[in-house]
Amino acid sequence: MLHCSALGLALAAPAGTAVAQVGARPRKVLVVGDSLSAEYGLPRGSGWVALLEARLAREGIAATVVNASISGDTTSGGRARLPALLAQHQPSVVLIELGGNDALRGLPLASTQANLLAMTQAAKAAGARVLIAGMAVPPNYGRQYGEAFTALFATVAKAENVALVPFFLAGVADGPDAEAMFQADRIHPNASAQPRMLANVWPVLRPLLR
């Protein structure tokens, strides 16, 4: 069964800024996401963003990671927060992981797409490369809605010629061990799912750090 992603209802404190620096003049990755990236319900340091830091260090890649994710955030919230984040951190790469909460709240797909488009354009205007993490919704949302929701991420990525992870939770929400990959709420991935989430991101993110 496909689990819904990024559907945290309660706001949680943003995950702390994470830093991994190797060598001089590191590149900077800004992660703007929701509960999937904010370590909701996980021990600090066990989420996929923390695992990303560790991998960068292990491979000797000079890059720092700023995790600006907030549980419960929507694309509208991310759009509102992004200008200040860009000015403060001046990232070389912006990873946008938002959209699941839009679906949970029944927000118009056109609004979600417009927000993702605006965030992508703002990041590019600030000189950053962009990676969009695609999402999907459970079958109970209906086939038509589900297909349209999934497609909007690819639509934005294609329109702006930016990188895309087609489904951030591939192998987690749609795999044979899906039940074992989620916390008790059946919404948020547990610690065992985090390496797989990073594995979905890494091959798309790595070329952007060159």
How many Cα neighbours within 13 Å face the side chain of 50? 14
Q: Does the annotation count 69 as an active-site position?
A: no
d(CA 124, CA 130): 7
* The one catalytic residue among 69, 71, 102, 188: 188
Catalytic residue among 174, 177, 185, 192: 185
Alpha-carbon distance of 48 to 193, in angstroms, equals 9
Q: Note if 89 is an active site residue.
A: no
Tokens of residue 19, six digits: 């830093």
Q: Which of 35, 71, 76, 92 is catalytic?
A: 35
CA distances in angstroms from 60 to 5, 23, 24, 125, 174, listed in the order given: 32, 8, 11, 29, 33
Catalytic residues: 35, 185, 188
